[in-house]
Amino acid sequence: MYFDDRAEAGRKLAAELFEAYRYDNCAVVAVSDSSVLVAEEISTYLHCPLTLMLIENIDIPGESLSFGGVSQGGNFTYNSTFSSGEIEGYTSEFHGYLEDQKREKFQNINRLLGDGGVMDVDLLRDRVVIVVADGIDNGAAVDVVFDFLKPIRTLKIVVATPVASVPAVDKIHVIADEIHILDVKENFMGIDHYYEKNIIPSKEETIQKINNNILNWK
């Protein structure tokens, strides 16, 4: 399945979620700037608050693999697709690099926290939390979000994304209460591949979208 843009994909997901959650006590959490374009459509149709989870990814040097991510709470979460042996091996080999990256990424997050629009724990407590991505390959960002949500008392955690890989779906089935995925790919080609238009707003534009979200409720 291909989409004209992320807004179209968001409207399709919103149609799936509408009947169950239009009048429920929900909050929508986007896992990236590009995911906000999907999430704002869901939030608009469900009439619920929209927030952005600040995540900084850390890649393994020389490989197109995510080692894990740092959340706005400062915690580092390993990519759960790695075995304990792989994590131990990579940690041993890249210990200095990993620690430097953790500090740098958390500093990046702190610089953004004052701009508004980011996730407020009080906004999520005792709600159905709908975690939205514009696509999920290895699910590293979802791992970070779920790690962040663990200590928060929520009613239910729902994952919604237009497209995901088979391994990501297997992972999400284990950690989420409910999932909504429009298309599952055995050979995942990268998130941008599934959208005809890949215009992503700047961080400033993203924050403005979130802060103005209520004005767009349908």
- Asked, for residue 180, whether it belongs to a domain, the answer is yes
Question: Per mean pLDDT, which range of 7-11, 16-20, 102-106 is the poorest?
Answer: 102-106
Question: Per mean pLDDT, which range of 144-148, 175-179, 208-212, 214-218 is the poorest?
Answer: 214-218
CATH code for the domain in which residue 20 is found: 3.40.50.2020
pLDDT class for 13, splitting at 50, 70, 90?
very high
Q: What angle do CA 10, 16, 17 make, to 5 degrees?
A: 85
- Asked, for residue 16, whether it belongs to a domain, the answer is yes
pLDDT of 162 above 90: yes
What average pLDDT does this structure show over 91-110?
83
State the residue range of the domain holding 51.
6-55+114-216
Phi and psi at 26, nearest 5°, equal -120, 160
What are the structure tokens assigned to 66, written together? 């995510």
- Asked, for residue 125, whether it belongs to a domain, the answer is yes
What are the structure tokens assigned to 109, written together? 């997050």
- Asked, for residue 87, whether it belongs to a domain, the answer is no
Counted domains in the chain = 1
The chain-wide mean pLDDT, for the chain, equals: 87
73-109: burial string, b at 16+ Cβ within 10 Å, e else: eeebbbbbbbeeeeeeebeeebeeebeebbeebbeeb
| Total residue length of the chain | 218
- Asked, for residue 12, whether it belongs to a domain, the answer is yes
DSSP state of 52: E
Q: What is the pLDDT of residues 107-161, one digit of tens each?
A: 777 766 665 545 678 889 999 999 999 999 877 788 888 888 889 999 999 999 9
Higher per-residue confidence, 97 vs 120: 97
- Tell me the angle at which helices 95-112 and 84-93 cross, rounded to the nearest 10 degrees: 90
Most confident of the following: 86-90, 127-131, 206-210: 127-131
Question: What's the predicted TM-score (pTM) here?
Answer: 0.80
At 7 the pLDDT is 96
What are the structure tokens assigned to 53, written together? 């989870």
pLDDT class for 17, splitting at 50, 70, 90?
very high
- Asked, for residue 126, whether it belongs to a domain, the answer is yes
Q: What is the pLDDT of residues 19-70, one digit of tens each?
A: 999 888 999 999 888 999 999 999 999 999 998 887 778 888 887 778 888 8
- Asked, for residue 80, whether it belongs to a domain, the answer is no
By percentage, how much of the chain surpasses pLDDT 70?
93
From edge to edge, which strands make up the β-sheet containing 26-30?
Answer: 50-52, 26-30, 128-132, 156-165, 178-185
Is the CB of residue 124 less than 8 Å from the CB of residue 72?
no
- Asked, for residue 71, whether it belongs to a domain, the answer is no
CA distances to 20, 25, 94, 200 from 192, rounded to whole Å, are 29, 32, 29, 10
